[in-house]
Structure 1
Amino acid sequence: MVIDLRALNTVRVDPDGSAEVGAGARLIEVYAGLAAAGRLLPGGSCPTVGIGGLTLGGGIGVLARRYGLTCDRLTAAEVVTADSCVLTADAEHEPDLHWGLRGGGGGNFGVVTRFTFDTPPAPGLTVFVLPFPAGSVPQVLGAWQQWVADAPPELWASCQISGGNPPTCKVVGCWVGEPDGANRQIDRLVRAAGTRPTGRTVAAKDYLGAMKFMAGCANDTVAQCHPTWEGGRLTRTGFVATSRMLGPGPVDPARLTELMTGRTGVDLLLDSLGGAVAEPAPDATAFPHRDSLASAQVYAGATPATEDRVRATVDEIRDGLARLGAPGAYVNYIDATLPDWGRAYYGANLPRLQRTARRYDPDGVFAFPQSVTAA
């Protein structure tokens, strides 16, 4: 069964910054609506991702180190359960359900139709891109891991490694503040890496401008940051993806580089965590990866003819990351072949999630192969 929530896409911001968002809204719509009110919500970079799936799985994004995960900003949710009851889940009403909706994955308890978020004021931001020369991945990755671990929470950065012979990398980031502050942080990374980037883009942006820059549609209107069949310019693409969670300690940069050597067409995105993400305890919400240094997202383009081969390659990298000390995984990259997926996604929070699912869906109406009740 597929339930289409796209019509539930209203974004309304109250004077106190509380935002009600329909569960069918896409991120670009959420960001545009909040920006018009001078507010922000930490979230992902893909403009067509739905707010519902992002929030329910945790919500890793480009402002997470300063403002937390998307689910950390969730104060209430309207949920329709399998017996047709409409519940409001917040800290005082249905607190177990509210806990589970913050990182417990989509579809496990009911259908969420509306979210209420606490949104902070939107400050000026600075975005940056640093491409590094081929062959420098071990130096850059080694320096990057220590750099983000020691960085102030205003800094978020992604080390993006492209497979090849040799692999290449770039660092993409966002700084909460002016370019001078961003440049000081960048200089610290370059000194630690011992290799100079081949280019350096640093640009001040407002909140919506920064989100569009990260989405790859910086020069487009909000309407253009939609799929082509909705009047935008974003085309449908086929890919295979999976994830791991790094840390709390660093991974061996030489071994990770070896893992990506020869993997042409595969990208590994390491998105920094820490800061505000690490402040709650691992069991404060259903999202357990509070002490992770970064999330690791493995992407590879695929067509129906190449899917099996590409999937095998992606799985090899996924399993190689686990051998390097990254056994966890992000449920928003749900992976049908992930070993021990229940613990990988949810860690020690899995038993409580199972009890919550049995309470709100005792007959398993919403069960699916990787629902918490199936773990």
Structure 2
Amino acid sequence: MEHLPKITSAEISMLWSTYIGDTMGICVLKHFLQTCEDQEIKTIINLALKSAQDHVTQISDLFINEGIPLPNGFGEQDVNLQAKKLFSDITYLRYLHHMGRTGLNSYSLAKSVSARKDVRNLFKQFSDQTETLYDRNAELMQEKGVFIRSPYISYPDKVEYITERSFLGGLLGHRRPLLGVEIAHVGINIEVANVGKTILLGFSQVAQSKKISDYFKDGYELGKKMVEDFIIKLKEDDNSYPSTWDSTITNSTDAPFSDKLMLFHTNAQSAIGIGDFGLAIAASLRKDLTVTYEGYILRVGAYAEEGVKLLIDHGWFEKPPQSIDRESLRNQNK
């Protein structure tokens, strides 16, 4: 029998986060499936739901074998399948496209920091499933004419080298046109913010707590400002920009999800957004772009912190795996 060392801090953390995220995803997808009217979109939702359920089952088996307690995560108490439709079917597609892109990045990172073969294989399987889902979802979005493409640029016609440091630009005065990779990241952040705005506006409409509803509305306003600022960056160079069209939100005030789930979901989306800004900074050479992204990292970080405080105040913040507090143990013996 093959000897398996204990799973590392990175492995247990990635598995734990995946478990929590997929139990939340199962709740969201069940309501999407219940209320979706388009049969083609229903097929995609069902595929995503089965993948999330498979992930939860496999991580549960691994944790049980390792003697690790299963997280509570989310369950039937966090979704109301009788609640009316809140978002349009097209929103479901856009949401799955966004979450699929996030999943591909997350599983790639998780595999790269995992040592044990069975854990690496698990994350490879999760990545393969997500890639299949992403491709099918992207193809359906294109068939329905709702796939948001990155802005186009003219093809390069020669090879050039940069010889002036002014290429990096400054905060004031004339700046060089945006690079293709810079345009791509600005476009991605516009689309992600638009999806986030739609979700947050819907959440603010159905949240049971006024304080939490107001929190979602604040997030919507932050996302709105973000989109405006990023579009200005593209317009300055006469670049095209992604559609700002927001998917339809119904007039329903029935909460399909618990306030706990919606708050956790919003916090997770904030973390994803901060990660996207970090990637954009790494790819951007123009100083004004870097400053803009850094500013939004601070603003979204502060917004996320308020969300965590709300989770803690309501007793909803499940403690992630952490190292032993040695100082606390020493104090117990005194």
TM-score (norm 2): 0.32
| Bigger relative contact order (CA 8 A; separation at least 6) | 2
Of Structure 1 and Structure 2, which has the larger fraction of its residues in strand? 1
More helix by share: 2
